[in-house]
Amino acid sequence: NDVKVLGIDIEASSDGDIALKSVKVSFDSTGNTGSDNLDDYIDSVSVMLGSTEVGSADVSDFTESSGVFSKSITLSGATTIRAEEVAKLYILVSAVGNIDSGDISGDSWTVDIDNVRFVDGGGVTTTDAGGRCRKYIAVHIGSRRASELSGTFAVHEARQGV
């Protein structure tokens, strides 16, 4: 069962429509007192645009560097956001079925959307890293109590006709 752990609003400017292509998601284990391995807590990560799943990745596909696990998740399907519209993008996690009691006590993860990649109506691909969105969650993932956070990415480079 997936749990929403992060949510942002993505707004297309009045210049035109945009099509989302990928989202880079990271999980930072800094401060954990138990396991620093993401796969001890989470099986997979999903991306939803509104109520539609548009991407997913297994935790085994994430790369780790200095305690930060990250992955650019390719998006597909209904990813177009019309000019001047705001869409809700969510990051969801699926918890492992058996989190060790030693890993629950005092552990926490920081969940980030590092960037959003999109194509505008002129075919120009842009990576927006300006609105870094961060959510600090305790290990309530296993008990499905993680909450949603809203932030904002303002996309200004869109052109007509995606």
Residue type, 135: K
pLDDT for the residue numbered 102: 55
Query: Kind and range of the H or E element at 31?
Result: none
Kindly state the percentage of the chain with pLDDT values over 70.
Answer: 72
pLDDT tens, residue by residue, 86-104: 888 889 988 777 666 555 5
Residue 16: which region, alpha, beta or left (left: phi > 0; alpha: psi -120 to 50)?
Answer: left
Residue owning tokens 């991407």:
55
CB neighbour class for 50 (10 Å; exposed up to 12, middle 13-18, buried from 19): exposed
pLDDT for the residue numbered 21: 94
DSSP characters over 67-121: TEEEEEEE--SS-EE-TT-EEEEEEEEEE-S---HHHHTT-EEEEEEEEEEEEET
Residue type, 54: V
Average pLDDT (106-128) is 83
Of the segments 3-12, 82-91, 103-112, which one has the largest average pLDDT value? 82-91
Query: Does residue 22 register a pLDDT over 80?
Result: yes
Q: How far apart are the first and last CA of the chain?
A: 33
